[in-house]
Amino acid sequence: MADQARPERARHGRVLATLSLVSVLMLAIASVFAVYGLDRHLARQAKEDLRRIASLLASRVALLPAGIDDKPAIQAEIASMAPAADARLTVMAADGRMIAGSAAQAAFVESLGDRVEVVTAARDGVGVAERESTTLGGRHLYVAVPVLIGGRLVGFARAARPSTHLADALSLTVPLLMYLTLGAAIVLVLGHMARQRVERQSLHLVDTAEAAAARAAESERRLTEAQRIASIGSWDWDFESNVARWSDNLYRMFGVEPGAFQPSLETYLEYIHPDDRAAVQVAARRAIEHGTPIAMDTRIVRPDGRTIIGHTRGQAVNDQHGRPTRLVGTILDVTDLRHAEAARQAAEEQFRVFVETTNEWIWTLDTRGTLLYSNAAVRNILGYELDELIGREVLNLLHPDDHAALLAALPEMIRQRANWTGVVRRWLHRTGEWRYVESNGIPILDEKGVVQGFRGSARDITERTLAEEAFRKSEERFQLAARASNDVLWDWDFATGEIWRSEAIRRLFGHTGVGDQQWDALLHPQERQLVGESLKEFLDSDRETWVAEYRFRRGDGSYAWVLDRGIAMRDEEGKPLRMIGTMMDITERKEAERMKSDFVSFVSHQLRTPLSGMNWMLELAAEAGNLPPQAAEYVADARESAARLGTLVNDLLDIARLESGRTTMAQESVRLDEITRSVLREMNTVIVAKRHTVRVDSNGAAPALADQQMMRQVITNLVSNAVKYTPDGGQIDIAIVPRRDRVEWSVRDNGMGIPRAAQGRLFEKFYRADNAISKEAEGTGLGLHLVRLVIEHAGGQIWCESEEGQGARFAFTLPTALREGAKA
């Protein structure tokens, strides 16, 4: 407390002293100025006064009848004026000779003519001077005026007074005052400083005595506090008397109150874990006998049940004779420390196990590329055992290019203390193969932050890399193929719903990018619905391939004919996962076809005329009735032949019509079961002749949406084939079943079947499988083509399943008529 007040008081004192000094000085200076001002004023007054008096005297003298020479009269004048004037009056002749004066010094007749005031008065009319008086003491002020009689200078009148009293007084007072002031100020300051020093000294004296005591206590407190904080206790054991002294904290560490008992070796041992007691005694004996320092862990069991681990350190201490009499030391609570160490070791062990057993290669290299550390996984990566590589410069196993690149980059990596991830390099495996290894690394820094090496992990990605390479090549090949091909390649992912189309979509049709909504809009209205239904039907089925032809609008608005083919990949349930296909621009082909169709159409019509002629003539001949039997037979054969020709022409015309794309087939509600039965009735003769068994199974299938006439042709065609290509006594099964929103018609026979090779081409124009040709030379090969056209025009699909020698199954689907817009 005193320490805090002292600087305050000191400051106050100094400020006070300074202020007093300054104010006094200022006062002195001010008074000096005031005084001198006053003095000058007084001086001026005095001069004026004296001049007046001198002038008065001069004029009185001038008025005297005897003038300047009348000494007694002048004396009288002076005498009469002197009391009122309060000044010494003197009259002198023009030469300065004193004539009369008020002072007693009239006895001194001297020339005053050289006096300054006289000289000046003679010159200027008035003269002023101030000087020490030779006759009287002290400074006097003299004012002289000339006496003029008749304008002629006859003498001078002079008045004199002693100089102003004030100045005189001041000339002493002022310096005196200043010295006094200065002295006072100095005294004040000195006094203050002295007082401060005295104070300080006295406090200081008090401090020393108290402080010593306080410090001692404080010291003791701090030690105890320190011990408590550090969890350490100290002990001092006199082993000769077996009396020990423990620090307070040591007691506390042992879980008892300080001073709870008198410590000794035995009491100490009571607290030690039984298994550790022997070691304690041994250490104590060694310390006593050999001076070996004690440093050991012991378990201490506290009364509260807790066991702590104490690290004891101690040493023997000699007495003044150099004989060891005491052991002195500390016990540090290292319980937490030991537990932490144990945990750390366990973690380290765990980590080590991990590092050793992981498949990742864990490595440490120095800056030269020497392998300082590696786990066993290196064997998988490089094929060498651990001991073959440790200490070696493993970077030599790198591919030369990668090695060179690394060496070039290394200085910068070291400078920048760079780390990296995902860097792939090629290493030479022991077997001579190149392995792609991807690594991550971080720098190892010394305490100055300089890179001493690197550590990290790595893994073999050869397979992945090769796979990626293969994929890339494959992708490249595909892209090239896509570009080379003149078709648009498309890839429909059902999972995402996205359809990828190759760049040809732009090249062929002038579309920059086709969204799927736009796709439908680009189909020609006439084909749009049919294609959509055909595709939907295909997706719902379990078939693999899909085909459609339609007109597709180009970017410039014109239509192109497109042959769209696709293959679907399905999951186990038959649901489509992905579909890949091509769009081929068949506009030219279609154009050619159309011209062909037109030609066929034209020719067919032309053919019909002579055909009709033949038919009718033969009809007439047959009905004439008078043909010899042989001729009648020939005529009948001719009629049959002609009929076949007629069928051929009809088919050609139908095909031409359908292929021209200008067809409008009827969309009626057609009962396939009724048509089937009707067709079977028509063919009954042949069926019976061949002893086939025909079964029709139609379990309530809905009517189909199609052209009645054409469906009749289709069914006739398919049934006829089944009948024709099945050996006598065959089995023909026709089934009409609903399939979601479609109806499926199928005919199965157990005839000769269709060779695999032919199945793909079955529905082509003019195609007949070899075995069919060999069976019956006549078929035109038109039938299935026409059938396919009709079905596809109706928005359905037709296909064939067959094994050679095991019969065939032909089936088609059609949309049902159960919708709006269908004519019932």
Nearer to another protein (CB atom), residue 186 or residue 624: 624
637 interacts with another protein by CB under 8 A: no
Q: Using CB under 8 A, pick the residue from 81, 611, 636, 737 that binds another protein.
A: 611
598 interacts with another protein by CB under 8 A: no
Of residues 151 through 170, those in contact with another protein by CB under 8 A are none
DSSP letter string, 215-279: HHHHHHHHHHHHHHHHTEEEEEEETTTTEEEE-HHHHHHTTS-TTSS---HHHHHHHB-HHHHHH
794 interacts with another protein by CB under 8 A: no
Closest distance between another protein and the C-beta of residue 714, in Å? 17
Q: Select the span of 311-319, 446-454, 565-573, 644-652 touching another protein (CB under 8 A).
A: 644-652
Q: Select the span of 4-12, 113-121, 519-527, 643-651 touching another protein (CB under 8 A).
A: 643-651
d(CA 578, CA 426): 37
> Where is 362: in which H helix or E strand?
strand 361-366
- 92 burial (CB, 10 Å; 0-12 / 13-18 / 19+) is buried
d(CA 111, CA 537): 165
Q: Using CB under 8 A, pick the residue from 289, 463, 598, 619 that binds another protein.
A: 619
Q: Using CB under 8 A, pick the residue from 358, 615, 667, 780 that binds another protein.
A: 615
DSSP state for residue 562 in the 8-state scheme: E
Instruction: Give one word for 781, left, alpha or beta, with left for phi > 0 and alpha for psi -120 to 50.
Output: left
Closest distance between another protein and the C-beta of residue 622, in Å? 10
d(CA 600, CA 49): 166
Of residues 656 through 715, those in contact with another protein by CB under 8 A are 657, 664
In angstroms, the Cα distances linking 623 to 618, 626, 634, 644 are 8, 8, 14, 20
- 78 burial (CB, 10 Å; 0-12 / 13-18 / 19+) is buried
653 interacts with another protein by CB under 8 A: yes
Tokens 């009517």 -> residue: 703
Nearer to another protein (CB atom), residue 133 or residue 667: 667
CB-based contacts of 555: which residues, under 8 Å, 6+ apart? 509, 510, 511, 512
Q: Using CB under 8 A, pick the residue from 264, 370, 650, 709 that binds another protein.
A: 650
613 interacts with another protein by CB under 8 A: yes
Closest distance between another protein and the C-beta of residue 546, in Å? 30
648 interacts with another protein by CB under 8 A: no
Token duo for residue 571:
């999951």
Q: What angle do CA 255, 258, 262 make, to 5 degrees?
A: 100
Nearer to another protein (CB atom), residue 318 or residue 612: 612
Closest distance between another protein and the C-beta of residue 755, in Å? 35
Nearer to another protein (CB atom), residue 354 or residue 616: 616
594 interacts with another protein by CB under 8 A: no
Closest distance between another protein and the C-beta of residue 650, in Å? 7
Q: What angle do CA 38, 41, 43 make, to 5 degrees?
A: 110
646 interacts with another protein by CB under 8 A: yes
Q: Using CB under 8 A, pick the residue from 616, 756, 761, 803 that binds another protein.
A: 616
Closest distance between another protein and the C-beta of residue 642, in Å? 9
CB-based contacts of 803: which residues, under 8 Å, 6+ apart? 753, 756
Q: Using CB under 8 A, pick the residue from 228, 536, 608, 775 that binds another protein.
A: 608
Q: Using CB under 8 A, pick the residue from 195, 306, 477, 605 that binds another protein.
A: 605
d(CA 425, CA 662): 65
Q: What angle do CA 786, 790, 793 make, to 5 degrees?
A: 135
Q: Using CB under 8 A, pick the residue from 191, 291, 610, 760 that binds another protein.
A: 610
Q: Using CB under 8 A, pick the residue from 4, 496, 517, 609 that binds another protein.
A: 609
In this structure, is the dihedral angle defined by the CA atoms of residues 83, 85, 90 and 92, taken in order, positive or negative? negative
Alpha helices in 573-698 (DSSP H): 587-624, 629-659, 672-682, 684-689
641 interacts with another protein by CB under 8 A: no
CB-based contacts of 711: which residues, under 8 Å, 6+ apart? 670, 672, 675, 704, 790
Q: Using CB under 8 A, pick the residue from 91, 327, 649, 762 that binds another protein.
A: 649
Q: Using an 8 Å Cβ cutoff, are 158 and 90 in contact?
A: yes
Q: Select the span of 44-52, 652-660, 669-677, 815-823 touching another protein (CB under 8 A).
A: 652-660
Closest distance between another protein and the C-beta of residue 590, in Å? 20
Q: Provide the b/e sequence for 679-698 (b: ≥16 CB within 10 Å).
A: bbeebeeebeebebebeeeb
Nearer to another protein (CB atom), residue 474 or residue 606: 606
Total residues at interface with another protein (CB under 8 A): 21
342 interacts with another protein by CB under 8 A: no
Nearer to another protein (CB atom), residue 421 or residue 606: 606
Query: What string marks each residue from 552 to 591 as x (binds another protein by CB under 8 A) or -?
Result: ----------------------------------------
Nearer to another protein (CB atom), residue 710 or residue 722: 710
Q: Using CB under 8 A, pick the residue from 39, 77, 537, 654 that binds another protein.
A: 654
Token duo for residue 541:
């089925």
Token duo for residue 108:
């001194």
Q: Using CB under 8 A, pick the residue from 216, 295, 470, 620 that binds another protein.
A: 620
Site residues (vs another protein, CB under 8 A): 601, 605, 608-613, 615-617, 619-620, 623, 646, 649-650, 653-654, 657, 664
